[in-house]
């Protein structure tokens, strides 16, 4: 597997007619990331992952400085998973002027859910993904459904800007006890790791009730919120939405239940879908 550190090196690697799949990551890889590589491997002739802790998507009080950086382990995992190359740029390579005067805002879909408590986050996500698409020119790019709002933002950006790349969502990968894999799970101590199960459990409970025909959305959201509190979370949100993240209606046929909350300093997110 090739390790590429510059934009020019990626473009030289990309030259040719074979189809290329891109897996953007911030590193500290887990089974969820490797599922993206496997999906790209099935779809495309060649697979490139990126590892870049993007400062543009972190707020002033977030964990940019302490975000886990585990390149040696990540490189070994990607090679084992069948990636052909990994792009590991420096901040100066991605933002040579010290930042980005040009940014990408995807309005409407970014002000809700995580966007409410993380202003500017999705601007940073959309900007860096746009840059990665321009650098790599992938035929397809693969994102996990655990970050469901992010996936929706990227799909909307690609559609609005007429970008010639297929954006593929890959189902959330969970540990045996139901907790969604996340790089931030590493921040949890043993007690918090047990408490974290309340997140997926609360979502699954509401999904089950939606499947059974319950449609009092506010009551169901309040129920999920209370379950998070009882489980030790400081909830950020617990919402029922349509699959496209529009408002849930009584005649909606495909729902998404999304939640986020803090355990100590660690913010976790999760979601599940249900069709009725």
Res 122: pLDDT: 97
Res 173: pLDDT: 98
| CA distances from residue 131 to 40, 104, 126 in whole angstroms, order as listed | 19, 10, 9
Res 17: pLDDT: 84
The catalytic residue among 33, 80, 121, 262 is 33
Write out the DSSP string of 245-271: SSB--TT-SEEEEEEEEEETTEEEEEE
Strand, coil or helix: 164: coil
Res 66: pLDDT: 85
Binding site listing for beta-alanine: 57
Considering the entire predicted model, what is its pTM?
0.95
Binding site listing for (R)-pantoate: 57, 150
Is 33 marked active-site?
yes
Res 18: pLDDT: 93
Q: Please state at what angle helix 71-81 crosses helix 31-43, rounded to 10 degrees.
A: 40
Res 100: pLDDT: 79
| CA dihedral for 73, 79, 82, 87, sign (positive or negative) | positive
pLDDT tens for each residue of 122-138: 999 999 999 999 999 99
Q: Which residues of the chain have pLDDT under 50?
A: none
Level-2 CATH architecture, domain 2-170: 3-Layer(aba) Sandwich (3.40)
CATH fold for domain 183-270: 3.30.1300
Instruction: Give the residue extent of every domain in the chain.
Output: 2-170, 183-270
The answer to whether residues 182 and 200 touch, using CB atoms and an 8 Å cutoff, is no
Distance, in Å, from the CA atom of 88 to the CA atom of 185, rounded to the nearest integer, reads 23
Res 166: pLDDT: 98
pLDDT tens for each residue of 81-117: 999 999 999 999 999 988 778 999 999 999 999 999 9
Distance, in Å, from the CA atom of 63 to the CA atom of 92, rounded to the nearest integer, reads 20
Binding site listing: 26-33, 57, 144-147, 150, 173, 181-184
């Amino acid at each position: 597997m090739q390790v590429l550190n510059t934009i020019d090196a990626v473009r030289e690697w990309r030259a040719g007619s074979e189809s290329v799949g891109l897996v953007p990551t911030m590193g500290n890889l887990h089974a969820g990331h490797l599922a993206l590589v496997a999906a790209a491997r099935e779809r495309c002739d060649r697979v490139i992952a990126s590892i870049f802790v993007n400062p543009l998507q972190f707020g002033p009080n977030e964990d940019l400085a302490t975000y886990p950086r585990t390149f040696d382990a990540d490189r070994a995992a990607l090679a084992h998973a069948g990636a052909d190359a990994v792009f590991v740029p420096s901040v100066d390579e991605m933002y040579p002027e010290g930042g980005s005067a040009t940014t990408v805002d995807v309005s409407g879909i970014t002000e809700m859910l995580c966007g409410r408590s993380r202003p500017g986050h999705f601007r940073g996500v959309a900007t860096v993904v746009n840059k990665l698409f321009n650098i790599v020119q992938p035929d397809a790019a693969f994102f996990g459904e655990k970050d469901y709002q992010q996936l929706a933002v990227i799909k909307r950006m690609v559609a609005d800007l007429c970008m010639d790349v297929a954006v593929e969502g890959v189902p959330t990968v969970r540990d045996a006890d139901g907790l969604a894999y996340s790089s931030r799970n590493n921040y949890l101590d043993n007690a918090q790791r047990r408490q974290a199960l309340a997140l997926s459990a609360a979502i699954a409970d509401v999904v089950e009730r939606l499947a059974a025909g319950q449609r009092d959305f506010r009551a169901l959201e309040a129920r999920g919120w209370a379950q998070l509190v009882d489980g030790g979370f400081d909830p950020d949100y617990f919402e029922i939405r349509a699959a496209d993240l529009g408002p849930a209606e009584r005649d909606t046929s495909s729902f998404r239940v999304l939640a986020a909350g803090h355990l100590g300093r660690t913010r976790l997110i999760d979601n599940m879908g249900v069709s009725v």
